[in-house]
Amino acid sequence: MVFVTSARTTADITECLESRLSRVRASSVGGATELAVGSDSNTAYFVTLTPVNSGSQIKVMRPANAPDDPPEPEMRFDIARCAT
C-alpha cells in the first residue's frame, strides 16, 4: 500500500494515469475517484484519489496474488509522474 499527496486535482491525476497506463477503469464513489488498473478479470492495482484542501491524496493498493501487469516499477513511476 502506498499513500501520497499531490497538489494536482483528482481529475488531472486521473487523466494523466489514463494516458500512461492501458486498461484503466475509473468510477466515482462519493467524493473520491477509484481507478482499477489491469484486465477486467485480474485487477493488478486499485488507486483511490481523494480531494483534499490543497490537491489530492493518492492511495494505491495491490491485491494479494495480483498479476504483475503493469510491473510495479512502472506503476510507481507513473504514480510519481502524475502526482507532480
Compute the mean pLDDT over every residue in the chain, rounded to the nearest whole number. Answer: 92
The C-alpha torsion from 66 through 3 and 77 to 11, rounded to 10°, is 100
Residue 20 banded pLDDT, cuts 50, 70, 90: very high
* pTM for this model (two decimals): 0.90
pLDDT of residue 79: 95
**Residues 43-81 pLDDT 10s:** 899 999 999 988 999 999 998 888 888 899 999 999 999
pLDDT of residue 16: 96
Grid cell listed for 67: 498479476
Residues in the chain: 84
Residue 41 pLDDT > 80, yes or no? no
Q: Where are the beta strands (DSSP E) in 1-84?
A: 2-6, 24-29, 32-38, 43-52, 55-61
